[in-house]
Chain A
C-alpha cells in the first residue's frame, strides 16, 4: 500500500491507554472513570442518608449537606451514569452494526478526555475551598456570587468541559450509525441498543448546546459582572431555569433510552425469542426522544408561567406514558411463552420492569399541574426520579454490564456473587426510596439537612437510610465480582448467552479490528438468522485483506489538559493561566489539522496469525 507504517505501533500499559483511539479501549476508560465517579457519588449519597437517619442530628451539618446534595446529583448524572452509558455504547454499538471502527476515532478519544478532565476539575473543588452548594440544578439567584461560594465556579467550568466531550461523543455515534453499518444492516435491522444509542446521540446533539449557553451565561454573571440573572440590573432568573431544563429534561431521556435498549436486548436473548413488536419499539423510542424535548417546563409548574403553559406542558408530559407503555408491554410479551433463563443480567432486566413502571406512574402524577403544587420540592419528587434513574437506568446498566462483561473483557462475572449483588441492591433500593414517597406526601421538603422529631418523619427516614446500606453492599459485591472475574483464568467464550446480534459473532474480547471480514447482514437479529440457517458464523461481505487502522495519539489528552488548566485560570481570575491553557489546546488543534494521519495497516497474514475467524 503506502509508504507509511504497516505495523501496529508498539505501545503498552498506561501509555497505550493515554493515547488510544480504539473504541473498545475508550469504552474501558469510560467505565473505569465513570465507575470511580459512581463510587464518589454513592459515598455522597450515603453521607446524605446518614445525616437524615435521625431527626435533628449534626452529622455533616447544613453547609456540607448542601455541598453533598449538589455534588451527588451532579456527579451521578454527568460523571457517573452518562460515562457508563458511553462505555457500553463504545464497546457495543460498532460491533452491533458490523463496523471496524467508529467514524471519528480521534474525536472519540477527545470526548473521553474532556469528560474526564471536566469531572476531575469539578471534584477538586472539595479540596480547594468547598464544593458547589447551590443544588445540582444550580438555580439562580442562589447560584450567583452573593449567595454561593467559589464551588459554583467549579460547577460552571467543570460541566462545560465535560459537556463538550459528551457533545462530540454524540456526533461521533450519529455519524457512525448512519455511515458505517455493514452491508445489509438496514435501519430496521439494527438491534434495539443501537437504535437507543442513535436516538440518545440525537438528543445529546440538540440538548447539550442549551446547557452550554446556560453555563456560559452563569459564568459571565459570576466572573465578568454580567447581569443575565441579576434582577437588580434587569436580569431574569427564569431564563436559567428554561435553559437548564431545555437541556435537563431531554437529559433524562438521554439517560433512560440506552437503558431501554439494554433491557430489550437482554430480555430477548434470555427469552430465546425475537423482541416482540420490534418496529413499534423503534417508533416508541423515536417518539419518546421527540416528546422529551417538548416537556421541559413541567419542571417549572410553580414558577408562574401561567395556567395555559402549565396545561400544555402537563399534557405533553402525560403523552410520554403512551410510548413508554408500549415498551413495557413489548418486554412482557417478549417474555410471554419464551424459554426464560435468569442469570444476573436478566434478573436486573426483569427487576427493572416493575420498578421503572412505578417511577413512570409517579411521573404521570407529577405531570398534573395542580397536584404538582403539593408534590413540588418534596421527597415525593426525590422518590420519583430515583425510581426512574436508579430503578430504571442503574438497573439497566447493571444488566448491561453483566450481559456484555464477557464481550468487553473476555471474562465472565461470577453468577453467585451476581445474584447477591442483585438482591441486596434491589431490596436496598426499594427500602430506600419507597418510603420517600410517603415522606414527601407528609410534607418533608427536599434539600433540607434535617427535620423535627415526632412529625411522623422519623421511621420513614430511618428505613430509607437502612436501605441505602443495602445498596452500598450491592455495589461492593459488584466490585468484588469484578476483582474475582479479573483474577479468574477462565476465558469467556465468544457467545456465552446464545446471543442474537452481531457482537456475539466475534471473539471475546474482540480483536482491535473487530471483524476480520465485514459481515453480510441478512435480517433482524443477524447472528440468530445465521444460526437458524445452520451456519457456523456470519457470511463475509468482502474478501480477507489488509485492514486500515487509525494511529494512536496523545493530542486528545493534551487538548483536554489545556482546557483543564484554563478552567483553573478562570476560577482564580488568573488570565495568564487562561491564555496558556487555551493556547495549549489551540496548538494541539493546529497540530492535528496540519499533520495528516495516515494510520497503519494490519496485514492479512497477521490476521490469520491471531487465529480469528469472522
Chain B
C-alpha cells in the first residue's frame, strides 16, 4: 500500500486521508487525555507537598526568575515553530516542515540544557531527591516533563531522518502531525509548571 500511494497526488489533510491515519490521530488524542491525568496526578502531589521542605532549601530560596524566563521563552517559541511545521504539512511542503522541525528541536535542546543546568545547580545548593518531600515532588514533576521533552526531541529527530528517505506520504504525514501535537502538549504542560511550580513557588509564604 505504502509505495502505491507515494506516487499518487497527496490529498488534503494527508494525516487523516487513510483509516490508519484517522485511527492514529484519534488514538493519539486519547493518549494525550491519559497523559493529562498523569500530569494532573503529579501536579496534585506537588501542590500537596510544595511547602514540606524538611529543613532543606525552599522554593523561595532556590528559584531564579531569569533562568526560568529564558527556558519558557525557548519552549514557547518551539511551540510556535511546531505550529509552522503543521501549517507546512497542510501545504504539503516537506522542505518547510523539515526546516521548522529542525528549529523546534534546537529550541527544545536549549530548553533541556537549561533544565539540566538548573537541576545540577540545585543539587549543589543542597536540594537532592532525598532532601525533603518538596524536593522529591519537584524533581519528579519537572523531571517527568523534561523526560517528555527529551523523548520528543529523539522522536522528531528520528522522524526527520527517516522522512528524507521516505518523503511526505499518507504514511509519514500522520507521524509528523502527531509529533507536532505531542510537542504542543508538553508545551501546555510547561505553562502549568511555570505557573504552579515557579510563579507560585516564588511568591512564597505558606499556603493552606
Contacts and interface: CB of A to CB of B under 8 A. Distances in A.
B1 A548 contact: yes
Given A171-B34, A213-B38, A236-B133, A220 B49 contact: no
Contacts of A243: 41, 45
Contacts of B54: 227, 233-234
A233 B132 CA distance: 5
* Interface of chain A, main secondary structure: helix
A332 interface: no
Contact of B19 (A179, A236, A594): A179
Contacts of B72: none
**Most chain A beta-carbon neighbours within 10 Å: one of B33, B35, B37, B53:** B37
Interface string A256-282: 000000000000000000000000000
Interface stretch (B23-31, B78-86, B88-96, B116-124): B23-31
Contacts of B44: 239, 242
A543 interface: no
Interface in B40-56: 41-42, 44-45, 48-49, 52-54
Interface string A169-192: 001101100111000000000000
Interface stretch (A134-142, A204-212, A530-538): A204-212
Interface in A149-176: 167, 171-172, 174-175
A235 B52 contact: yes
B203 to A, nearest CB: 20
Contacts of A255: none
A208 to B, nearest CB: 7
B23 A234 contact: no
Contact of A179 (B26, B38, B166): B26
B135 interface: yes
Contacts of B140: 216-217, 220, 226, 228
B10 to A, nearest CB: 16
Contacts of A584: none
B133 A234 contact: yes
B129 A226 contact: yes
Contact of A213 (B42, B48, B130, B132): B42
B53 A234 contact: yes
A599 B1 contact: yes
Given A206-B34, A228-B137, A594-B162, A179 B23 contact: yes
Contacts of B136: 217, 220-221, 226-228, 235
Contacts of A2: 1-4
Given A227-B54, A228-B49, A236-B48, A210 B37 contact: yes
A545 to B, nearest CB: 14
A329 interface: no
A213 B45 contact: yes
B134 interface: yes
B78 to A, nearest CB: 21
A235 B26 contact: no
Nearest to A548: B1
B101 interface: no
A205 B34 contact: yes
* Interface of chain B, main secondary structure: helix
B76 interface: no
B49 to A, nearest CB: 6
A104 B27 contact: yes
A492 B67 CA distance: 70
Contacts of B38: 209-210, 212-213
Nearest to A246: B41
Contacts of A599: 1
Contacts of A217: 45, 136, 140
A179 B22 contact: yes
Given A205-B34, A226-B136, A596 B42 contact: no
Interface in A382-435: none
Interface in A222-236: 224-228, 230, 233-236
A599 B1 CA distance: 8
Contact of A234 (B22, B26, B132): B132
Given A209-B38, A212-B38, A220-B140, A225 B130 contact: yes
**Most chain A beta-carbon neighbours within 10 Å: one of B128, B131, B137:** B137
B6 to A, nearest CB: 10
A174 B1 CA distance: 25
B158 interface: yes
Contacts of B3: 2-3
A246 B42 CA distance: 13
Contacts of A103: 23, 27
A239 B48 contact: yes
Given A104-B23, A599-B1, A206 B33 contact: yes
A1 interface: yes
A175 B133 contact: no
Interface string A584-604: 000000100110101100000
B142 interface: no
A45 to B, nearest CB: 31
B171 interface: yes
Given A220-B140, A590-B158, A598 B2 contact: yes
A409 B85 CA distance: 49
A205 B49 CA distance: 26
Contacts of A552: none
A213 B41 CA distance: 7
**Most chain B beta-carbon neighbours within 10 Å: one of A4, A103, A246:** A103
A485 B151 CA distance: 49
Given A179-B22, A205-B30, A234 B134 contact: yes
A214 interface: yes
Nearest to B141: A213
A217 B135 CA distance: 13
Given A103-B23, A171-B30, A205-B33, A214 B52 contact: no
B34 A209 contact: yes
A476 B159 CA distance: 52
27 contacts: A2-B1, A104-B23, A171-B27, A178-B26, A179-B19, A205-B33, A205-B34, A206-B37, A209-B34, A209-B38, A210-B37, A210-B38, A210-B41, A213-B42, A214-B41, A217-B45, A217-B136, A217-B140, A227-B54, A227-B135, A228-B133, A228-B137, A233-B52, A234-B134, A236-B133, A239-B45, A242-B44
Q: Which 8 A-B pairs have the closest CB atoms?
A: A234-B52, A225-B130, A234-B133, A209-B38, A213-B41, A209-B37, A226-B136, A103-B23
Interface of A: 1-4, 103-104, 167, 171-172, 174-175, 178-180, 205-210, 212-214, 216-217, 220-221, 224-228, 230, 233-236, 239, 242-243, 246, 548, 590, 593-594, 596, 598-599
Given A212-B38, A213-B41, A220-B129, 10 more contacts: A3-B3, A209-B38, A210-B38, A213-B45, A225-B128, A227-B136, A234-B49, A246-B41, A590-B158, A594-B162
Interface of B: 1-4, 19, 22-23, 26-27, 30-31, 33-35, 37-38, 41-42, 44-45, 48-49, 52-54, 128-137, 140, 158-159, 162, 166, 171, 175
